[in-house]
A and B are shown apart, each in its own frame.
Chain A
């Protein structure tokens, strides 16, 4: 009886965690943060060139995209939940393929152009950025054609 109650409460807290979403207005906040961070990254690359600003802007961009990704829709019904799950599956697979392919492509291109190449890992920012952008774009596409 006691074990059953414990399992029930654990199941409830797990469900609460997996179903967690921010309110719809966080989507706008996330987009704004991502656009500001993107602008700062571009400005920093061509004008300022500061490593600290670059790191902060990268974090800002990931946080912004994450907010967009985990914010509710205005009407969050069962079809939207299914489309969201499909987009997460797609983004996960695309992210893994990207992480595997990009170093190989980089290596091949370097080898063909410079005739010498070093095998470089894909950076964590690059993978996370790609994963989040893939999820958001695929989710929007699925919503459009639903």
Chain B
């Protein structure tokens, strides 16, 4: 599973720390997700979807 979290974050112009605070996780968790080391839960993905105002499929996708 890969993601476009970094790009979406850049569009909103927010830091990892700011995004982390918005969804109630640590900055390291956001970093791990961006580096594809950790796949978040559905709950966290939906929280991110709300922040980015986009469906989850737009920023999380399966590896071809």
What is the interface of chain A, defined by CB distance below 8 A to chain B? Answer: 75, 77-80, 82, 143, 146
Chain B residues lying within 8 Å of A80, measured Cβ to Cβ, are 26, 29
Q: Which listed residue, A75, A82, A143, touches B25 by the CB 8 Å rule? A: A75
Q: Does chain A have a CB within 8 A of B7?
A: no
Chain A residues lying within 8 Å of B28, measured Cβ to Cβ, are 79, 143, 146
Majority secondary structure of chain A interface residues (helix, strand, loop or mixed) = helix
What is the interface of chain B, defined by CB distance below 8 A to chain A? Answer: 24-26, 28-29, 32, 37-38, 40-41, 43-44
Majority secondary structure of chain B interface residues (helix, strand, loop or mixed) = loop
List 27 interface pairs A-B (beta carbons < 8 Å), by A numbering. A75-B25, A75-B26, A77-B24, A77-B25, A77-B26, A77-B29, A78-B25, A78-B29, A78-B40, A78-B41, A78-B43, A78-B44, A79-B25, A79-B26, A79-B28, A79-B29, A79-B32, A79-B38, A80-B26, A80-B29, A82-B38, A143-B28, A146-B28, A146-B29, A146-B32, A146-B37, A146-B38
Chain B residues lying within 8 Å of A79, measured Cβ to Cβ, are 25-26, 28-29, 32, 38
In the complex, A79→B40 CA distance in Å? 8
Chain A residues lying within 8 Å of B44, measured Cβ to Cβ, are 78
Tell me the minimal C-beta distance from B27 to chain A in angstroms: 9
